């Protein structure tokens, strides 16, 4: 190294940093010189913390880079940085503050400072009115906590941080509280803090006086869990595989014996039935897992509803609260009886977002709600929506809401109201009569006796279990459809039987084939005929005997499912139902089960093409113009000339406007003077 370069070394910090990392011992004096320079710069900085000090900023980063080489000399350096950031957090220049934070992160990555000290400081820095800084710290905190818990959970760190964030949620600074809540929500969604304590800490933010904080907590609970969505997609793949195995089994069964068009037609119908079940599985929406981790959902639902009654925020915020209350009631089967009369006030066709109100009412319905309360709700919907004075869309939405409420609490429906609603099955509008038929199809499965005789349909052999009385919690002693199983079968698989036969064959010294008795087609048909002739009570008795005699396997359940689907397909085939009727049935079977989060389409779908808005019309218009040539005159050949008329079109208007002016009619005096000039001109010639 030349003497000239060495003399400039104290002023060239990047070069000095590089040399120190290569040989720390040789450049210790230069380091100590820079460290003393840093200490003197800190004293000057403390006199005016709001002013940007470029020298100090460069020295802070330099010491952070070489801190690993001189650990003893810089033992207190991280604490000094933390002290300066805490003391002057709101006064520091934004660029200098970010530089200090980056230096602390560098020290944290080299394990020269405890993670708890850095993370608590960064949470406190959320109070600064610097959006860039808050965004930077938010990303680092989430990633750092995720990395700490990647290999194994650091319970001590997590416990201390959760308690600290719980205190930050009650901070007087709304920015710090909001960012702390966002950190907890993101860590929950990334499956880092996916525990009960995190959910219950977030639930305390629901009653925050700052709307941004309470809305963020509400969206967390009424949203969807991304990890659960991934699990749902995996379950859909498994369900699809099971359906395909069932179809393959039926195809193989159809190949055995005599071929006929009747068998092929039945196979198509069963395959279509399985595809409908697959579509129904895909449309299901599972509950957000956070709702199941709450300590006391009953107390939370009551407090939330009381908070909603005195709320003076925007209507959208009130909708979020009502959505959460309804989900809590439906998922945990709570009793908040004041919720239903309160919601009845909004069940009017002209009400804003009335479809969502009907959706929340259906979500809050379950079997433990007294039928008298929900009966009043049904009458309100019927009187306000399902009347001839309303439009067809309003009537359809009302019928869909009635169907979803009755699917969760069938006892609220009265026989008179049900028969009145069933008369809309002949309505001219497609949406209305399809919605009415869906209500009829629901009660055919739940309690056909409430329907008029002509609406009950023909017996299918798959009788419904019926509706129990209110608060009847008696368990079932049989599995519906188990009568199709063989009572003599003890649950052994076919593989076990094959191994037994092979062992017997080995014992036989002659090596001859052993006859195995198989049931013929006549015996199978005879058994089916017996099952069809059995009454409902006889079916239940046989199913009870089989269920109580042995443990059913997955193959047994698959056999029950195939038998019910085949019977349903056979009944439709005997009726001679057309393709349109099959499509209608597939549209009718859209009711979700109890405890599920209702999709908007279950009530808002009206079986009618909705009017497109302006954006939709413009997008549709642009679609048709993609493959079309340029509108107007065909493209001009550049080698050919053009007319003056074409040139005139391409000119600026200011150049041709004088030619477009209309000629005014000349007066008699003007004509006389013009004639005089013309005669004089001729005389001169």
Percent of the chain topping pLDDT 70 = 72
Report the distance separating Cα 103 and Cα 81, nearest Å.
9
Q: What is the pLDDT of residues 614-633, one digit of tens each?
A: 887 888 777 767 666 665 55
Report the distance separating Cα 577 and Cα 344, nearest Å.
41
Q: What is the pLDDT of residues 65-86, one digit of tens each?
A: 888 888 888 888 888 898 898 8
Average pLDDT over residues 489-510: 45
Q: How confident is the model at residue 522 (pLDDT cuts 50, 70, 90)?
A: low
- The token duo for 139 is 């990303």
Choose between 572 and 237: higher pLDDT. 237
pLDDT value, residue 610: 59
Which of 4-18, 164-178, 328-342 shows the highest mean pLDDT? 328-342
pLDDT value, residue 595: 52
| pLDDT of 321 strictly over 60 | yes
Please, which contacts does 30-38 make with residues 24 or more away whose CB atoms are closer than 8 Å?
Answer: 31/66, 31/69, 31/70, 31/73, 32/73, 34/10, 34/59, 34/62, 34/63, 35/63, 35/73, 35/74, 38/63
Mean pLDDT over the full length of the chain: 78
Q: What is the pLDDT of residues 431-474, one digit of tens each?
A: 898 999 999 988 888 888 888 888 887 665 555 555 667 766 55
- What 8-state DSSP symbol labels residue 313? S
Average pLDDT over residues 481-510: 53
Choose between 529 and 126: higher pLDDT. 126
pLDDT value, residue 464: 58
pLDDT value, residue 675: 92
Choose between 570 and 117: higher pLDDT. 117
In degrees, rounded to 5, the angle at the alpha carbon of residue 596 between the alpha carbons of residues 448 and 344 is 75
Report the distance separating Cα 655 and Cα 635, nearest Å.
25
Q: How confident is the model at residue 374 (pLDDT cuts 50, 70, 90)?
A: very high
pLDDT value, residue 70: 85
| pLDDT of 415 strictly over 60 | yes
């Amino acid at each position: 190294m030349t003497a000239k370069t060495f003399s400039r070394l104290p002023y060239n910090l990047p070069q000095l940093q590089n040399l120190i990392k290569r040989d720390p011992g040789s450049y210790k004096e230069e380091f100590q010189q820079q460290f003393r320079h840093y200490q003197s710069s800190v004293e000057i900085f403390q006199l005016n913390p709001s002013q940007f000090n470029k020298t100090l900023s460069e020295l802070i980063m330099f010491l952070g880079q070489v801190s690993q080489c001189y650990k003893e000399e810089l033992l207190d350096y991280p604490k000094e940085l933390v002290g300066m950031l805490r003391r002057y957090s709101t006064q520091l220049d934004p660029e200098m503050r970010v530089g200090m934070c980056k230096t602390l992160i560098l020290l944290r990555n080299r394990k020269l400072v405890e993670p708890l000290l850095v993370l608590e400081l960064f949470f406190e820095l959320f109070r600064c009115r610097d959006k860039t800084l808050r965004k930077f710290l938010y990303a680092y905190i989430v990633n750092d906590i995720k990395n700490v818990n990647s290999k194994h959970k650091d319970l001590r760190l997590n416990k201390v941080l959760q308690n600290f964030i719980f205190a930050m949620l009650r901070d007087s600074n709304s920015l710090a509280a909001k960012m702390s809540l966002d950190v907890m929500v993101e860590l929950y969604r990334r499956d880092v803090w996916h525990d009960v304590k995190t959910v219950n800490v977030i639930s305390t933010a629901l009653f925050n006086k700052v709307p941004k904080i309470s809305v963020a907590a509400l969206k967390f609970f009424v949203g969807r869990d991304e990890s659960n969505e991934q699990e749902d997609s995996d379950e859909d793949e498994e369900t699809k595989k099971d359906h395909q195995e069932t179809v393959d089994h039926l195809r193989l069964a159809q190949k055995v014996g005599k071929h006929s068009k009747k068998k092929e037609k039945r196979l198509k119908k069963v395959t279509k039935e399985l595809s409908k079940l697959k579509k129904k599985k895909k449309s299901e929406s599972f509950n957000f897992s956070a709702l199941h981790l709450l300590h006391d959902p009953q107390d939370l639902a009551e407090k939330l509803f009381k908070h909603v009654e005195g709320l003076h925020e925007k209507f959208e915020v009130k909708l979020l609260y009502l959505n959460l209350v309804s989900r809590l009631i439906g998922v945990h089967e709570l009793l908040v009886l004041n919720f239903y009369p309160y919601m009845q006030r909004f069940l009017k066709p002209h009400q804003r977002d009335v479809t969502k109100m009907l959706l929340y009412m259906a979500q809050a319905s379950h079997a433990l709600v007294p039928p008298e309360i929900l009966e009043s709700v049904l009458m309100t919907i019927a009187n306000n929506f399902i009347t001839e004075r309303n439009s067809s869309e309003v009537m359809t939405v009302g019928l869909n809401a009635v169907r979803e409420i009755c699917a969760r609490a069938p006892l609220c429906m009265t026989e008179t109201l049900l028969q009145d609603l069933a008369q809309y099955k002949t309505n001219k509008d497609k949406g209305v009569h399809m919605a009415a038929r869906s209500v009829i199809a629901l009660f055919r499965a739940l309690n056909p006796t409430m329907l008029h005789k002509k609406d009950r349909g023909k017996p299918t052999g798959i009788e419904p279990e019926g509706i129990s009385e209110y608060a009847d919690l008696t368990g079932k002693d049989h599995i519906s459809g188990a009568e199709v199983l063989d009572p003599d079968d003890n649950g052994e698989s076919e593989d076990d039987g094959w191994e037994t036969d092979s062992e017997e064959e080995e014992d036989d010294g002659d090596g001859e084939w052993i006859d195995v008795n198989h049931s013929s087609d006549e015996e199978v048909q005879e058994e089916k005929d017996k099952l069809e002739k059995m009454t409902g009570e006889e079916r239940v008795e046989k199913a009870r005997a089989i269920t109580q005699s042995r443990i059913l396997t997955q193959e047994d359940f698959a056999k029950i499912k195939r038998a019910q689907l085949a019977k349903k397909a056979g009944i439709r085939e005997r009726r001679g139902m057309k393709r349109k009727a099959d499509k209608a049935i597939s549209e009718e079977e859209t009711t979700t089960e109890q405890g599920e989060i209702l999709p908007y389409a279950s009530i808002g779908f009206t079986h009618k093409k909705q009017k497109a808005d302006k954006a939709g019309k413009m997008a549709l218009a642009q679609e048709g113009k993609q493959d079309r040539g340029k509108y107007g005159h065909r493209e001009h050949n550049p080698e050919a000339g053009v007319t003056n008329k074409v040139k005139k079109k391409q000119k600026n208007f200011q150049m041709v406007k004088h030619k477009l002016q209309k000629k005014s009619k000349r007066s008699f005096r003007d004509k006389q003077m013009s004639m005089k000039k013309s005669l004089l001109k001729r005389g001169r010639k």
